[in-house]
Amino acid sequence: MTSAVSFQKASRHFGNVRAVDAVDLDIAPGEFFAMLGPSGSGKTTCLRLIAGFEQPTSGSISIFGERAEGVPPYRRNVNTVFQDYALFPHLNVLDNVAYGLMVKGVGKAERHKAAEEALSLVRLPGYGARRPGQLSGGQRQRVALARALVNQPKVLLLDEPLGALDLKLRENMQEELKSLQKALGITFVFVTHDQGEALSMADRVAVFNDGKIMQIGTPEDIYQRPRTRFVADFVGSSNVLPPDFVQRYSGQHRWGSLRPESIRVGRAASGITSGEGVSARLVSTNYLGATTKLALDADGLRLHAIVPAGTALPGEGEAVVLTFNREHLHLMEEPA
C-alpha cells in the first residue's frame, strides 16, 4: 500500500542548523498522525516540508507515491491549518473558505455552496457574512479548518491548531477533530508540543528531538515503552532510572523508566526497610485534584509518584518506602 506521506532520509538544514536530519517516516492513508516534540525539535519544519514551504536539502519526500521535491505548495493536494489561522482579514468568512476554489476557477455560486457546506461541517453555519476580526479564537480556528477542508485535500496538516485556545475549548476541539477525521477519512498530520494532546488524539505518534525522530509508535507504545530517556521524560514525565538502580531490580545494566502512577508509597515501618522496597524521603506533595503528585528523594535519586486523591499520605520530610511491580519497570534500548 502506498503511504500517504513518506520521508526517505529527508533532511532540511539551515546553514549549520540541522532542523530536520535524515528523517525516515511513513504515514498511512487515513491515519491521524501526531508529531510531538519540544520547540525547535524539527516537527514544524517536517510539516512545512510536506506542505511545500520548505524543500529538503537532501533525501526525498513523496505524497501518495508522487515525488514532492520541487513541487510548489500550490500544486500539492495538501492543505494546512496554520497556528495563527492566517485568515484573510479583507475577505468575509465565506470568501475565506471559498478562496481555494476561487483560485481554481470554480464559479461563484458553486464555490459559495461548497463553502457553506464546509462551514456546516465545522458547526459554523450562517457565519459566512462576518469578518474574521469579528470572530472568537475558537471560531477562527473552525474557519481555518473549513477553509482547508473545502479543497478536499488528501492530507490535512495542522500546525499546533489548538495552542491558542483555552483549556475547555481545547478539549472540545480535540474530540471534534478526532470525530471529523474519522468521518472524512482524510489523513491528518498534527504538530503539537502537548504530549496529552498527541496521546489522546493520534493513532500514531512520532516523538521529535534535535531534528530526529526518537520513536514512532502508538500512544500506548510511546507511553508504556519509551525507547530512550528523552522519550520517557518528555512523554508524560516518567521516572528515568539510572543503570545501577535498574540492575538491582531487573539484573540488567540498562536505563529504565517507571511511570509515576506505578509507584506505591508506604510509611517506613519503624526504621526497618523491607528488602523489596526503596527507602526514600517525601520532599513535597502537589495536589492535582483527582490525583496527588509526590516528589521523592531516594538517596539522591529524584522520583515522582502519582497516587489517587484521598490516599493517606505521610507528612513532608518523612521517610517512606516505595514499592512497584517488577513488570512495570521498563527497560530502555538506549545503551547505558
Partner 1 sequence: MRSDGSQSAPLGLKIAAACGLLFLHLPILLIFVYAFTTEEKSFVWPPPGLTTQWFAVTWNRPDVWQALSLSVRVAAISTAIALVLGTLCSAAVSRTKFFGRETISLLVILPIALPGIITGIALRSAFALADIPFSFWTIVLGHATFCVVVVYNNAVARFRRTSGSMIEASMDLGADGFQTFRHVVLPNIATALLAGGMLAFALSFDEVIVTTFTAGQQQTLPIWMLEELIRPRQRPVTNVVAMVVMLVTLLPILAAYYLTRDGDQIAGSGK
Contacts to partner 1 by CB under 8 A:
51-53, 72-74, 78-80, 82-84, 86-90, 99-100, 102-104, 131-133, 147-148, 151
Q: How far is the CB of 114 from partner 1 (least distance, A)?
A: 13
Rounded-to-10 torsion of CA 250, 252, 256, 258: 0
Q: How far is the CB of 85 from partner 1 (least distance, A)?
A: 8
Q: Which is nearer to partner 1, 53 or 273 (CB)?
A: 53
What is the Cβ-side half-sphere exposure of residue 301, based on CA atoms within 13 angstroms?
18
Q: How far is the CB of 134 from partner 1 (least distance, A)?
A: 8
Rounded Cα distance, 148 and 120, in Å:
14
Q: Which is nearer to partner 1, 78 or 94 (CB)?
A: 78
Q: Name the DSSP letter for residue 185.
A: -
Q: Which is nearer to partner 1, 72 or 300 (CB)?
A: 72
The SS3 assignment for 215 reads: strand
227 Cβ partners below 8 Å, 6+ apart? 214, 215, 332, 333, 334
Q: Which is nearer to partner 1, 55 or 279 (CB)?
A: 55
Q: For residue 146, what is its C-alpha cell? A: 473549513
Q: How many residues does the chain have?
A: 336
Q: How far is the CB of 111 from partner 1 (least distance, A)?
A: 12
Q: Which is nearer to partner 1, 100 or 260 (CB)?
A: 100
Q: How far is the CB of 67 from partner 1 (least distance, A)?
A: 19
Q: How far is the CB of 97 from partner 1 (least distance, A)?
A: 10
User: Can you list the positions of beta strands (E) in 2-90?
Assistant: 5-14, 17-27, 32-36, 58-63, 66-67, 78-81
Q: Which is nearer to partner 1, 52 or 260 (CB)?
A: 52
